[in-house]
Structure 1
Amino acid sequence: MSPERDEEYTTYVRSRLSWLRKIAYPLCQDWHRADDLVQTAITRLYVKWRQARTADDLDAYVRVMLIRVFLAEQRRGWFSRVQLRSAMPHEPLDSGDRDTAMDIRRALAAVPPRQRATLVLRFHCDLSVEQTAHTLGCSTGTVKSQTARGLATLRSMLGEPESRLARAEEC
């Protein structure tokens, strides 16, 4: 790569590194692993930088790479054998109810990887159903069903009362 392209790539990565980590963490629930996911994604980005820099939405392109790195890692054998977990998150919560945030984080970790990726894209990244489908490489119907199943799993893990769920679905 030319020095100009290297500089362009470096500038982009420096400006988006914390954003990428904030997407990776809810997926894997571990800051070290989130860093590994981001590192793998930006390495792949470097290899494809010539193509990526011409994308209509570079952030969306990189987000797709990150999600695909996460999903590919979930399919590998080593992940099912080894899971490193830290006792406490390394970064403090910004504000709000910390107990609720910890409960949600714990419940999100129990959601299957594909559903977790869908939930993170839909609610953490605030993507539409269509954008999420494009990112995951699936149909909008799959996104809707994965979202519904993921939310149902979260609700059951968090002990949502059935009456509250029924009222929410009526709205």
Structure 2
Amino acid sequence: MSAEVSDDPLVRVDITRTKDQEFTAFVRDAGPYLYKTALFLSGDPHRAEELVQATFERSYRSWHKARDGEPRAYARRILLNLRIDGWRRSRGEVVSDVVPVGSIAGPDDGVAVRDEVMRALSLLPVSQRRVVVLRHLLDLTEEQTARELGIALGTVKSANARGIARLREIFEEGAR
């Protein structure tokens, strides 16, 4: 990638960044987003860190492809594939129902809310959890979700509807 820098319109200076510099900037920008995604998909902070590290490693190896398109979407797809592979290897896995809350400083702190959402998500079947996370926590469209997961649009719609209905039940039960 190169950037043009000049105060004089007649002078053109190209500054070329190396692959490592480009990737380092990408890691800095996309890291928090990918970690949040991994945390919602795995329910475990340590597993989320492992997923993000594996995602960065794979993204770096194919950086020439990733940087030509949407690097964040490319990395998200890698992360999702890694998580799906993990689900396949450990069918029946129970997502940790303990998310470290830390100290809750006050009513504006969203940690308690995140904890409640994580616990509710952990109760969903894996197929519904994947769709709900992509649709509502990552704000992907139904079509994007179907493409990311490699499933039919109708499957996304039904899994989303069932997942949201189940989450409502879980939150209503908790409110009692």
TM (norm. structure 1) is: 0.77
Q: Secondary structure at the match of 2:18?
A: helix
Q: Tell whether 2:27 aligns with 1:34.
A: no
For residue 151 of structure 1, the aligned residue among 154, 164, 174 is 164
- What's the % identity of the aligned pairs? 37
CA-based RMSD = 2.8
Instruction: Please state how far the C-alpha of 1:37 moved relative to its aligned partner.
Output: 0.9
Q: Secondary structure at the match of 1:88?
A: coil
Task: For 2:111 and 2:32, locate their aligned partners in 1 and report how far apart those are by CA, in whole Å.
Answer: 21
Q: Secondary structure at the match of 1:26?
A: helix
Higher fraction of helix: 1
Long gaps (5+) in structure 1: 161-171
Q: Tell whether 2:104 aligns with 1:88.
A: no
Q: Is the 8 A contact 1:26 1:120 kept in 2?
A: yes
Q: Is the 8 A contact 1:23 1:125 kept in 2?
A: yes
What residue number does 1:121 align with? 134
Higher relative contact order (CA 8 A, sep 6+): 1
TM (norm. structure 2) is: 0.75
Describe the superposition over 1:32-70 as per-residue Cα deviations: whole angstroms up to 9, x where unpaired. Answer: 111111111111111111111112x22212111111111
Task: For 1:4 and 1:62, locate their aligned partners in 2 and report how far apart those are by CA, in whole Å.
Answer: 19
Q: Secondary structure at the match of 1:159?
A: helix
Q: Secondary structure at the match of 1:127?
A: coil
Q: Tell me: CA distance 1:90–1:50, structure 2 relative to 1, closer, same or farther (3 Å).
A: farther
Moved more, 42-51 or 88-97: 88-97
Q: Tell whether 2:130 aligns with 1:139.
A: no
Note the 1:12-51 alignment, pairs <5 A: 12-51=26-65
Aligned residues between the structures: 156
- Structure exhibiting the larger radius of gyration computed from Cα positions: 2
Task: For 1:14 and 1:97, locate their aligned partners in 2 and report how far apart those are by CA, in whole Å.
Answer: 23
Long gaps (5+) in structure 2: 1-16
Instruction: Please state how far the C-alpha of 1:159 moved relative to its aligned partner.
Output: 2.9
Task: For 1:99 and 1:85, locate their aligned partners in 2 and report how far apart those are by CA, in whole Å.
Answer: 13
Moved over 4 A (4+): 82-87, 90-94, 96-101
Q: Tell me: CA distance 1:87–1:154, structure 2 relative to 1, closer, same or farther (3 Å).
A: closer
What residue number does 1:11 align with? 25
